[in-house]
Structure formats: C-alpha cells, structure tokens
C-alpha cells in the first residue's frame, strides 16, 4: 500500500530539547528550520515542531485494553521488525514510557504491539505494529 506522506505541526516549549529528542532519540533527520520551528522526516512524513510555550501535552485519557491512553497523541504504524528495533532503542535510552512496549488485543482481530511515550514538551506519541498488517482496520 502506497500512502502520501502526512504533515503534522505540533507545539513544543523548547526547540533544542525537541531537536535532541526527534533527531537523537527517534532518529529523525532534520529538514528546514528557523528560530520558531523545525521540520523532521518522520519515516517519510513531515512533522514540524513549533515553538509554542504552554501549548503542548495531553488534556485527557481514554481507557483502551486496560491502559490510560493519552489524548491527543500521534505516531506511526511500523512493520513489526521496525517496532521491535525502536522499542529496543528507546529502552536503551532509558525512556520513561507512558505505556511500556506491550501487545494488546492478543489473539483477537487487530492484535498489535504498542508503546506510548512523551517528547520533552509533553506531547504523547504512540508507535504500533500489527501481528497481521492487513488487520489495521479490523473490527
């Protein structure tokens, strides 16, 4: 399946901390930038950290499979091998997970590996991978 890249702009309160997290921790390459924003290559998608003190972080959470999932959040659906490598990279970086790497809906349609973490500004990110990639929208 070939999808067009998405674009997401999100608030951060410290561009230096955002640069370190997205480049060094997540491995995103940096594109254009200014004193107020930074573009990152997020696995072929364009995300932009905009300096907006006080504008980041979650506002609520919803229960999903026994976990409090932060809202809002963004992230990626990766191939299982990519997800496992990222989970290992984040563990090696002593990441403080909101939801530790885990498998949800085990043995059910849509079984998926997932993990949640926050960037330095408090924005929540989710990375997931499906046991069966064609079950992305399974009910």
Where do the domains of the chain lie, and which CATH numbers do they carry? 7-51 (3.30.720), 60-135 (3.10.180.10)
Q: What is the pLDDT of residues 54-73, one digit of tens each?
A: 877 767 788 887 788 888 99
Determine the pLDDT at residue 119: 96
Instruction: Return d(Cα 136, Cα 15) in angstroms, integer.
Output: 33
Q: What is the pLDDT of residues 78-113, one digit of tens each?
A: 999 999 999 999 999 999 999 999 999 999 988 999
Instruction: Return d(Cα 48, Cα 9) in angstroms, integer.
Output: 5
Instruction: Return d(Cα 127, Cα 77) in angstroms, integer.
Output: 6
With beta carbons less than 8 A apart as the criterion, state whether 15 and 38 touch. yes
Instruction: Return d(Cα 74, Cα 92) in angstroms, integer.
Output: 22
Determine the pLDDT at residue 40: 98
- Percent of the chain residues past pLDDT 70, beyond the cut: 98
Q: Would the pLDDT of 133 be above 70? A: yes
Tokens of 121: 């500004």
Q: State mean pLDDT over 115-134.
A: 95
Of 58 and 34, the one with more pLDDT: 34
Q: Which distant-in-sequence residues (6+ apart) come within 8 Å of 66 by Cβ?
A: none
Note the pTM of the prediction, 2 decimals.
0.89
Determine the pLDDT at residue 58: 67
Q: Which distant-in-sequence residues (6+ apart) come within 8 Å of 126 by Cβ?
A: 69, 73, 74, 75, 114, 115, 116
């Amino acid at each position: 399946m070939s999808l067009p890249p998405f674009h997401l702009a999100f608030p951060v309160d410290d561009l230096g901390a955002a640069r370190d997290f997205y480049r060094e921790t997540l491995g995103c390459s940096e594109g254009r930038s200014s004193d107020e924003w930074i573009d990152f290559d997020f696995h072929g998608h364009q995300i932009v950290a905009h300096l907006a003190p006080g504008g980041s972080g979650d506002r609520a959470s919803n229960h999903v499979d026994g976990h409090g999932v932060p809202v809002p959040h963004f992230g990626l659906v990766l191939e299982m091998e990519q997800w496992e490598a990222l989970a290992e990279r984040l563990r090696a970086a002593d990441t403080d997970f909101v939801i530790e790497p885990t498998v949800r809906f085990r043995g059910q349609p849509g079984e998926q590996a997932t993990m949640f973490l926050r960037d330095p500004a408090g924005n929540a990110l989710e990375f997931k991978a499906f046991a069966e990639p064609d079950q992305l929208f399974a009910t």
